[in-house]
């Protein structure tokens, strides 16, 4: 769980756009169905009646492996997130199943926000990259996030409030 201050409210939890997961998801889906393409070959074997249960046994083992790979893919997608609260921004970086990094900074430290729409698909599907520069000269770049303009406006609005609160 995220550690928040007692009165702190989560304003936005932002995951990557679904386009970032679609390539690996299709690969897993393809690998999931790939053994079924071997089925006609197995049926053609002379010893098909003996080999078929072995093939189905192998199929379930394969499905178990694909299931865990799919779950790891989802974890990578789900935990790689940007959480905006009314006090701070929390950037969570997840790699694979277990590598997990959290960095956070106060909204009042936000100095500059740059958004970038990488290509025409970004324009079409409404996603982009966002770079947040802080007073400590630390840059955070989060790639392929949806509703990038709305996110920028929200962070700027909250950071102005945060800055006035600090002053």
Partner 1 sequence: MTLGLILLGLFLLFYAALSVAIIVHVETYSFSRSARWMVGIFIAFAILFAAMAIIFFFKVDWFEIINFYTYHA
> Measured between alpha carbons, how far is 42 from 56 in angstroms, rounded to an integer?
11
Q: How far is the CB of 122 from partner 1 (least distance, A)?
A: 25
> Measured between alpha carbons, how far is 105 from 87 in angstroms, rounded to an integer?
9
Of 26 and 78, which CB lies nearer to partner 1 in the complex structure?
A: 78
The three-state secondary structure class of 44 is coil
Give the pair of three-digit tokens for residue 159: 């950071």
Q: How far is the CB of 36 from partner 1 (least distance, A)?
A: 15
Q: How far is the CB of 1 from partner 1 (least distance, A)?
A: 7
Q: In the chain, what are the helix, strand and coil shares in percent, each to the nearest 5? A: 50, 30, 20
Q: Binding residues for partner 1, per CB under 8 A?
A: 1-2, 10, 13, 47, 50-51, 53-54, 56-57, 60-61, 63-64, 67-68, 71-72, 74-75, 78-79, 81, 83, 92, 97-98, 100
Of 80 and 144, which CB lies nearer to partner 1 in the complex structure?
A: 80
Of 71 and 165, which CB lies nearer to partner 1 in the complex structure?
A: 71
Asked whether the beta carbons of 17 and 151 are under 8 A apart, the reply is: no
CA atoms within 13 A on the CB side of 159: 20
Q: How far is the CB of 65 from partner 1 (least distance, A)?
A: 8
Of 11 and 163, which CB lies nearer to partner 1 in the complex structure?
A: 11
């Amino acid at each position: 769980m995220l550690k928040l201050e007692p009165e702190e409210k989560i304003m936005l939890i932002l995951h990557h756009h679904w386009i970032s997961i679609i390539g690996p998801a299709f690969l897993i889906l393809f690998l999931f169905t790939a053994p079924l393409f071997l089925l006609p070959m197995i049926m053609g074997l002379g010893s098909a009646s003996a080999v078929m249960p072995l093939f189905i046994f192998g199929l379930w083992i394969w499905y178990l492996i694909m299931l865990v790979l799919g779950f790891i893919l989802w974890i990578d997608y789900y935990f790689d997130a940007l959480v905006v609260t009314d006090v701070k921004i929390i950037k969570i970086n997840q790699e694979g199943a277990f590598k997990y990094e959290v960095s956070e900074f106060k909204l009042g430290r936000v100095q500059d926000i740059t958004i970038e729409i990488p290509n025409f698909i970004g324009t079409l599907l409404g996603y982009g990259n966002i770079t947040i520069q802080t007073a400590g000269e630390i840059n955070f770049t989060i790639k392929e996030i949806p509703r990038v303009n709305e996110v920028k406006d929200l962070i700027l609005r909250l950071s102005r409030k945060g800055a006035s609160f600090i002053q």
